[in-house]
Amino acid sequence: MSEKNFSIGFGVGSQNAKGDWLEVFYPKPLLNPDQEVVDAVAKNCGYSGGNEAIELGKNQLETLESALREMGQAEQADIISTFKLSVRPLVATVLAGDDSPQTVPEGYLKLQLLSHRLVKPHGINLNGLFGVLPNVAWTNKGAIDITELPEAQLQARINGETLTIDCVDKFPKMTNYVVPSGVRIAHTARVRLGAYIGEGTTVMHEGFVNFNAGTEGPGMIEGRISAGVFVGAGSDLGGSSSTMGTLSGGGNIVISLGKECLLGANSGTGIPLGDRCTIESGLYITAGTKVVILDDHGTQVNTAKARDLAGKSDLLFRRNSASGAVECLTNKSAVELNEELHSNN
């Protein structure tokens, strides 16, 4: 096989009574693995190329472990060795390329590449993921197929137990799969698998981070980071603040925050912000918001739609308490500001 491979993961997961995958846990997924690792999967597990999830039998584990140890892949070999004790189904998932995920094992491998910080948001193809992942009951007994939930609840009661259902969703919480180093997460249910949480990030109780979104770190998150949004180092999202994701009305605009930005409590943005930008508490900026632009002396220079200011740095958005107008104060002179605005029209 000569193609360059994108990723590989050895995982243990859950299936429903029909043998359909519900979820997969990959302890140490590999990005751009050595070709010899893929060759070992081909030789010992029947991999023939392309993107494929191969269910592993116990008889394959011994030879696969030996092959991995011989090539110096001790960490992956240890995982395979541990799999010998599993009562759960096992899988080797190979992604030869970054195509749209077609199976549950493929989708879960991609989500865990994000949460392991191996790729950043928008750095991986997740098109069609919603259609691939099943809606699952996440319980204290693991993932359960929705159609099989009533029987599982009854069986638990008969056994003198209670089946606790944490949520019913396509995405589990990240910390059941990955706990990145150097982070604090006060309420783990509010960070979905597929989130990228950078070193030094604190997610407080009311903070929320969706999949394919996250923080470069360090940062303080007390607001919402919607799908597709990435927050730069040193930025702070105040309590109940919000970022507009592409799934919630943002169209094709990719929302992001640069370094050292501040969203005040109950504020929000529907445009990407550059570095060192601030939106005052209670003010939500959308692409169509009419903004009065003030220069570094506080003098009105122009008016514009907020989309015209997308990605620019050192901006302060505020609402004039007397007129009610949304103002943007910059650190540029009137001449510099006018030139910059007209060059982007």
Provide DSSP, 244-267: --GGGT-TT---EE-TT-EEPTT-
pTM to 2 decimals? 0.93
pLDDT number for residue 249: 43
Set 106, 222, 280, 327: catalytic member: 222
Alpha-carbon torsion, ordered 117, 118, 124, 128, to 10 deg: -70
Helix (H) or strand (E) holding 115: helix 104-115
Q: Judge: domain 174-343, CATH 3.40.50.880.
A: no
Q: Judge: domain 7-132, CATH 3.40.50.720.
A: no
pLDDT number for residue 5: 77
The model's pLDDT over 38-77, given as tens digits with 9 standing for 90+, comes to: 999 999 999 999 999 999 998 899 999 999 999 999 999 9
Q: Give me the residues of the chain with pLDDT under 50, please.
A: 1-3, 248-250
The model's pLDDT over 297-332, given as tens digits with 9 standing for 90+, comes to: 889 999 999 999 999 999 999 999 999 999 999 976
Q: Where are the domains of the chain?
A: 7-132, 139-169, 174-343
pLDDT number for residue 335: 56
Whether the Cβ atoms of residue 167 and residue 147 lie closer than 8 Å to each other: no
In the chain, the amino acid numbered 237 is L
The answer to whether residue 222 is catalytic is: yes
CA 26 remoteness from chain centre: 16
pLDDT number for residue 245: 83
